[in-house]
Amino acid sequence: MRSRPAAILDFLTKIPVKAGQTYFLPSGTPHALGAGTVVAEIQTPSDVTYRLYDWDRTRPDSDAGLHVEDGLANIQSVVDFQQYEKRSHVTNLFTTVSRLVACPSFVIEKVRFIGELEQEIPYAEMVCWIMTEGKGELLFGPSGVLAFGKGDVIILPARLENPRVRTLTDCSWLEVTIPVESDLSAFSRPDSAELRTDHGTRPISLNISIKKPPVR
């Protein structure tokens, strides 16, 4: 491996993907994205990324831009990726929520909302929305408005005053939340009204676009 880092490709399993599919790669799983794919990639907290091969490109952060020895030391056992797409659904008249991935570091759900609907956002915790379809607006405070559309990424702070969502067309987004374990987990969670005050914060648009595939 030290003299032929491209040999790592011989040990990777190629999985054809389609729009809408979900795969969960546990920490320590070697992986690469094929040409033409645009993904919403949520990563577990980490200060390092080990690069085993970079298609003969070099980077300045290490010798030849690779971390072969460190990467091999942290590779986990072979896993069956198909088992990680475990969906569950909650549906009402106006929306459908599909649980895609749940792990100790994050939860990903796909939310579908019909168009021309306004509804209170019922929780008081930090949430990330990755918009995949449609157009709408986040309403907050006495007069705050943040428009969103396909490809936008938005963070909703926990302390957001009177937040509502208004859909202008049929919408869908990936909703990412962080499960937090604590000694208080046995107690009932306070509702949103108890957690919010009159001095709320604004939603945060990350100015990230998934409309164009990255240049490889």
Q: Beta strands of 55-143 (E only): which ranges?
A: 88-91, 95-102, 107-113, 117-120, 127-133, 135-140
- Confidence check: pLDDT of 35 > 80: yes
- Confidence check: pLDDT of 135 > 70: yes
d(CA 28, CA 163): 38
pLDDT (tens digit, 9 = 90+) per residue, 170-200?
Answer: 999 999 988 766 554 455 555 555 545 454 5
The average confidence (pLDDT) of the chain is 76
Of 51, 99, 112, 196, catalytic: 51
- Per-residue buried b or exposed e for 82-112, using 16+ beta carbons within 10 Å of the residue's own CB: eeeeeeeeeeeeebeebebbeeeebbbbbbb
Q: Is 102 helix (H, G, I), strand (E, B) or coil?
A: strand
Q: How many CA atoms lie within 13 A of 98 on its CB side?
A: 13
CATH number of 86-205: 2.60.120.10
Q: Which of 128, 195, 191, 204 is nearest to 161 (CA)?
A: 195
Residue 111 Cα to chain centre, angstroms: 13
Domain limits, the chain = 1-85, 86-205
Query: How many Cβ atoms from other residues are within 10 Å of residue 167's Cβ?
Result: 20
- Confidence check: pLDDT of 2 > 50: no
pTM equals 0.69
**Across residues 140-150, what is the average pLDDT?**
94
- Percentage of the chain modeled with pLDDT above 90: 24
Query: How many Cβ atoms from other residues are within 10 Å of residue 75's Cβ?
Result: 14
- Confidence check: pLDDT of 206 > 70: no
Going from the C-alpha of 54 to that of each of 49, 71, 110, 132, 214, the distances in angstroms are: 13, 13, 32, 29, 15
Higher pLDDT, 1 or 76: 76
Q: Please report the pLDDT score of residue 1 as a whole number.
A: 44
Q: Please report the pLDDT score of residue 188 as a whole number.
A: 55
Cβ(68)–Cβ(52) under 8 Å? yes
Whether 51 is a known active-site residue: answer yes
Q: Please report the pLDDT score of residue 83 as a whole number.
A: 45
DSSP for residue 197: -
pLDDT (tens digit, 9 = 90+) per residue, 97-112?
Answer: 888 888 878 889 999 9
Cβ(96)–Cβ(107) under 8 Å? no
Tokens of 142: 């006495």
**Across residues 196-205, what is the average pLDDT?**
58
Higher pLDDT, 8 or 32: 32
Cβ(125)–Cβ(155) under 8 Å? no
Higher pLDDT, 80 or 39: 39
**Across residues 132-152, what is the average pLDDT?**
95
Q: Please report the pLDDT score of residue 69 as a whole number.
A: 75
